[in-house]
Amino acid sequence: MKFCSACGAQEIELRIPEGDTLPRCVCARCGTIHYQNPKVVVGSLPQHESRVLLCKRAIEPRHGLWTLPAGFLENGETLEQGATRETLEEADARVELGALYTVISLPQINQVYMMFRARLLDLDFGPGPESLEVRLFDESDVPWETIAFRTIARTLRNYFLDRRLGVHPLHVSAIERRAPLPPDLLAAG
């Protein structure tokens, strides 16, 4: 943020406002405090019989890697509406949402992932504009080496473990440090 969105002044200071405890972007001219808060990423884990649906990303970050359908929760929608919308947009897939399944805080990038289990309602899915390919995978075929995000790998691992146990409790966790990128991903930028 360079300019104040309330008055247009190029006088944004980072300081702790009176009565607050954290540094904020404050306009030195009009005094507006510009709060910045984490975003919610909401999505689904669509299943059909023994298989799960994954999308190959057509956009950065992690172009060409596999993910579950997920994206930023929008103003005006519930978590369930957001998860359903993202699944439709990214995989052209209609689902019946099940329980909230993983909640993962990512404090270093100011995000909270919230993934729901889901059941595919038909098999007429296909890539939306943000996907190159959409496919169903058996557990043995999941491309673990090319999963786009640690949140997604964690959600999938939880799912296959829980499926063996026959229970799918909520998993609340955090990823507080980024794992170092493997050399091939580093090279890919």
Residues of the shown chain interacting with a copy of itself in the complex, contacts defined by CB under 8 A: 1-8, 10, 19, 21-22, 34-40, 72-81, 89, 99-100, 103, 105, 107-108, 110, 112, 114, 129, 170, 172, 174, 176
Kindly state the smallest distance separating residue 101's Cβ from a copy of itself, in Å: 10
CB nearer to a copy of itself: pick between 31 and 38 = 38
CB nearer to a copy of itself: pick between 59 and 161 = 59
CB nearer to a copy of itself: pick between 25 and 136 = 25
Kindly state the smallest distance separating residue 21's Cβ from a copy of itself, in Å: 7
Kindly state the smallest distance separating residue 140's Cβ from a copy of itself, in Å: 31
3-class SS string, 17-86: CCCCCCCEEEECCCCCEECCCCEEEEEEEEEECCEEEEEEECCCCCCCCEECCEEECCCCCCHHHHHHHH
Contacts 24+ apart (CB under 8 A), 3-7: 4/29, 4/30, 4/32, 4/34, 5/32, 5/34, 6/30, 6/32, 7/32
Kindly state the smallest distance separating residue 167's Cβ from a copy of itself, in Å: 13
State the maximum Cα–Cα separation within the chain, in Å, rounded to a whole number. 60
CB nearer to a copy of itself: pick between 11 and 133 = 11
Kindly state the smallest distance separating residue 37's Cβ from a copy of itself, in Å: 5
CB nearer to a copy of itself: pick between 4 and 142 = 4
Query: Prior bond to 180 cis, omega within 30?
Result: no
- List, in sequence order, every residue forming a beta bridge with 174; answer none if it has no partner: 105
- 97 vs 90, 122, 154, CA distance in Å? 16, 13, 19
